[in-house]
Amino acid sequence: MPLKECSINLPDIQSAKPDTLIPINKVGIKNLKYPIKVLDRAKGFQDTVGEFNLYVDLPSHFKGTHMSRFVEVLNEFKDEIHVKNIKEILRKLKSRLSARSAHLEVYFPYFIEKKAPVTGVAGLMEYQAFMKAALFTRKFDLVLGVVVPVMTLCPCSKSISRYGAHNQRGIVTIQVRSKPFIWLEELIEIAEESASSPVYPILKRPDEKYVTERAYENPKFVEDVVRACASKLLQIEGIYWFSVSVENFESIHGHNAYAYIEHPSQCYSSESSISKKDAPHS
């Protein structure tokens, strides 16, 4: 039997009435890998591979959604998937799946050529970046984020030790909502400048000496790093929401150290909130 003739006679179970009439906020597919382009400040665009989560809402009278349509929508855009057309992708998802809201999350590696601080030896540094977007009837929401490896040196260890101080690698995660667009590179620079030292892809001996001594002269708790990031973000016009988290993989403890700031925050009392006046003037 020809495929077209066969499909005519197949029942659409997803559109049937479910046993329990409860609406679902998000239903869709996760962990779909797909090639994408992302904006690159130095080169214009960068090709990478995104891992997608795609969802729509589902009314109470539908049994299920049509999973294949999520992939079909991505296929329509092929390698032209980037931040500039995410809203259009969400519109297509809403239309194809007869939904009131559509959601897209994409996580991807992002590479920047980075030179060692003394010798200038260049290598590619990998960062993890992500975009989270949602389109409702009258609202579009876009969050841009990046995960940045850094190094911190403990101020307490330095102050109480006769020589040396323990240090460790940490990760800084920054998420922003902004108008206009903000570069991933800007967020990466904020994270690296707020730590004791950046992390580099290649270090020769003169570079290692420089990084070690720089970190020793620039000790930071996770609290110091998260506050420094927040202060810098508060000074950027157009960012109307952000969150910053810092996690250190402690070298002398069996646990990690962690700090988090969100602005504006709806989770805490006004006593914990920050404002533009809290940011140091440059």
Q: What are 57's two structure tokens?
A: 């809402």
Which is more confident, 171 or 78? 171
Instruction: Say what the pTM is.
Output: 0.87
pLDDT at position 138 is 87
- pLDDT for 51-70, tens place per residue? 999 999 987 666 656 788 99
pLDDT at position 3 is 54
Q: Is the pLDDT of residue 211 over 50?
A: yes
In a domain, 7, yes or no: no
Residues 164 and 111 in one domain: no
Residues 164 and 259 in one domain: yes
Q: What is the CA radius of gyration of the chain?
A: 23
Give the list of residues 6+ apart from residue 280 with CB closer than 8 angstroms, or none: 231
Residues 155 and 264 in one domain: yes
φ and ψ at residue 136, rounded to 5 degrees: -110, -170
- pLDDT for 220-261, tens place per residue? 999 999 999 999 999 999 999 999 999 999 888 889 999 999
In a domain, 257, yes or no: yes
Residues 166 and 40 in one domain: no
- Is-contact 220 155, C-beta < 8 A? yes
pLDDT at position 218 is 96
- Of 95, 115, 135, the one marking the end of a domain is 115
Which is more confident, 6 or 97? 97
pLDDT at position 181 is 86
Start-to-end Cα distance in the chain: 73
Q: What is the CATH number of the domain that holds 198?
A: 3.10.270.10
- How many angstroms separate the CA atoms of 242 and 229, rounded? 10
Residues 151 and 264 in one domain: yes
- How many angstroms separate the CA atoms of 247 and 169, rounded? 9
Residues 54 and 105 in one domain: yes
In a domain, 17, yes or no: no
- How many angstroms separate the CA atoms of 201 and 179, rounded? 32
Domain of 152, in residue numbers: 144-282
- pLDDT for 39-52, tens place per residue? 899 999 899 999 99
Could you identify the residue written with the tokens 């570069």? 183
- Is-contact 125 200, C-beta < 8 A? yes
Residues listed for the chain: 282
User: Strands 239-248 and 167-178, how do they pair?
Assistant: antiparallel
Torsional sign, CA 201, 206, 212, 218: negative
Give the rounded percent of residues in the chain with a pLDDT score beyond 70. Answer: 85
Q: What is the mean pLDDT of residues 274-281?
A: 59
Residues 266 and 171 in one domain: yes
In a domain, 69, yes or no: yes
The separation between CA 22 and the C-alpha centre of its own chain, rounded to angstroms, equals 32
pLDDT at position 274 is 66
In a domain, 199, yes or no: yes
In a domain, 177, yes or no: yes
Residues 102 and 187 in one domain: no
In a domain, 8, yes or no: no
pLDDT at position 47 is 92
Residues 156 and 252 in one domain: yes
pLDDT at position 282 is 42
Residues 154 and 282 in one domain: yes
In a domain, 55, yes or no: yes
Domains: count for the chain? 2
Could you identify the residue written with the tokens 């570079």? 207
Residues 91 and 187 in one domain: no
Residues 153 and 259 in one domain: yes
